[in-house]
Chains A and B, each alone.
Chain A
Amino acid sequence: MSATFRTFEVHRATRASRAGGLVSLAIVAFLATLPLWAEAGTLREIDELACYLIYAMMWNLLAGYGGMVSIGQQAFLGLGGYALLVMGNFAGINPFVAVPLAAIVTALFAIPVAQIAFRLQGGTFAIGTWVIAEVFRLSIANWSAVGGGSGTSLTALRGIEKATRIHVTFWLCLSAAVIAIAATYLLLRSRQGLALLAIRDSEVASESQGIHVRRTKLGVYVAAAFGAGLAGALYFLGNLRISPDAAFTVNWSAFGIFIVMIGGIGTIEGPIIGALIFYLLNKIASDFGTWYLVGLGALAIAVTIKFPRGLWGGFSRRFDVHFFPVQRRLVLPPDEKGGSFHA
């Protein structure tokens, strides 16, 4: 038996990713100029797209990397919106400043919620999170100070000049989306990210390797809640009006899931592609009302059966294209004999 150890390198970037990085920067720079020349309607559309994207990225982080499939993340999205309302309307905080604060408050709520949610596993965990979201919805709907079942307006925004409000909201949404993507990418490249992937594959094996499974899962759950809360605060900042039905509807989860599945779960490109497809589909087909939704549902069913990890997941695996590469590639220097390891 002979063991030959040779030097190796760990590569992460790919040609595609280097190109992708440059293109992304260019796109972001272009988008930042939009408020100067695009109309309010378009800006609002992109605001909403950003919120869906952030929500979907967080759902993807939770499910695709954390292995926790939730259909109750709308609990935190709505909570973010209502935290913004309370801080802006009642505590007199500048609503733009209140946005990240609302996200933090939401993340804090996620800690006790996790204690209950983590009692369940797999499919039962998913529905359990939905029940929790319903509890949030019903609790708020019974709270008349925030408008009860019919909701209320974000009066704190009234004092701000319209153009300023629209522009700042847009830049907030754009930065939040960029930060969400960047943060997720950096997390997954880090040691914590590797731990996540290990946990996703096997909790028992991870635990035995010294990874604190519960703490890591809690961390991901709280991070995802933060992101959802951020998306919620931003969404209702632009919407000016909030109601329990709009804030806590399961449709958020439905759209988030479809974005991620059609785009591709467990990748970073996936939710971005999915959000864009979703945006386009919305523009083209939403006039068809219920039939559009039937089509969307049927599409999700078909895609999931054929590509259990989503469209981009199937594409990138088949053609080995990665714009946001998270894997580490082992690169061996060429060997004189051209052989492989002997062990």
Chain B
Amino acid sequence: MTLLATSKLESFYGDFQVLFGVDFEIAAGEVVALIGANGAGKSTFLKTICGVLGAHREAVTFDGQPIGGLPPGEIVRRGIAMVPEGRRLFSSLSAEENLLMGASARRAGPWTLDAIYRLFPLLAEKRRAPAPTLSGGQQQMVAIGRALMSNPKLLLCDELSLGLAPVIVKQIYDALPAVCDAGMTVVVVEQDVTTAQRVSSRLYCLQEGRVTLTGASSALTREQISEAYFGV
């Protein structure tokens, strides 16, 4: 059953067009990856879904409802949560306070503080630490936990691997199955193609704001992806 779908989605920064008619869909329980080079429009796509950027009302459907252009607060309340690019933790709050902020939308569900600490045991020791004192990996865990605290149906992950060592990236993505087992649908935006293929069942490739390739992650070849990625 399709949870989220976009139809000919366009997106602009002012007068500058970034997305040119993107068609995308994801079914409940899936993990779908979105790959592409810098500037391809991956983050823009996520921002449009979660309401930071505007869109036509009918261009984005979630749970059968058109949600394009709704404000971010409304979108969170309906069950879409974003782990933003670069973490964007609140620097004067502690790790735990950051997590608590995620619960502002007050949706019911399995993700409580305790559940987050079970998912990321490292965080439990660091709960009172001010966010800026955490390591990159720990910050990423807090960012993910913060998004989970709103008990979303759909989790959007924007470049989780950004600025992190490969061993930490692996740690983070290893937690993903546990999140999905609890019934989550996840969109993963990644520049690292290998990781993207590994963690997802399907993937889309964006190039200059257009979908250039889509298919089962395990079935796509290096060549196919290179061509779609770079457009050469």
- Answer yes or no: A and B touching, Cβ < 8 Å: no
List residues of A whose CB falls within 8 A of some B CB.
none
